[in-house]
Amino acid sequence: MVKISREIKIEELEKELAALKDRLSKTLRKSNDIFYLGGDGWHDNPAYDLMNADVDKISLMIEQIREEIADLRKSSPGAKARRVVRRKRQ
């Protein structure tokens, strides 16, 4: 049962990751317009500042989901742990 729920969790996270990547892409596509139309370029431009904060937030969320997926994959029963065994020289 745990294996199935882990796989489902990974699938859900991958869907969420794809949605966040799409959202980040759309936000970045709007950045040029926001920069020029929102005020004085980067100076005194609250719309541009808000967009940058949103990009930072989305990027952080993407990174956290990637780490969670990697952790779930590492802990899966099918994952093989690599262990180095050193032999003593004789």
Q: How much is the pLDDT for 36?
A: 80
> Per DSSP, what are the bridge partners of residue 79?
none
Q: pTM for the full model?
A: 0.73
Hey, where are the domains in the chain? 24-71
d(CA 54, CA 38): 15
Residue 87 has pLDDT above 90, yes or no: no
Over pLDDT 70: what percentage of the chain?
77
Region 79-90 average pLDDT: 46
d(CA 41, CA 58): 22
Q: Is 76 helix (H, G, I), strand (E, B) or coil?
A: coil
- pLDDT tens-digit profile of 40-84? 766 788 888 899 999 999 999 999 999 999 999 998 665 544 434
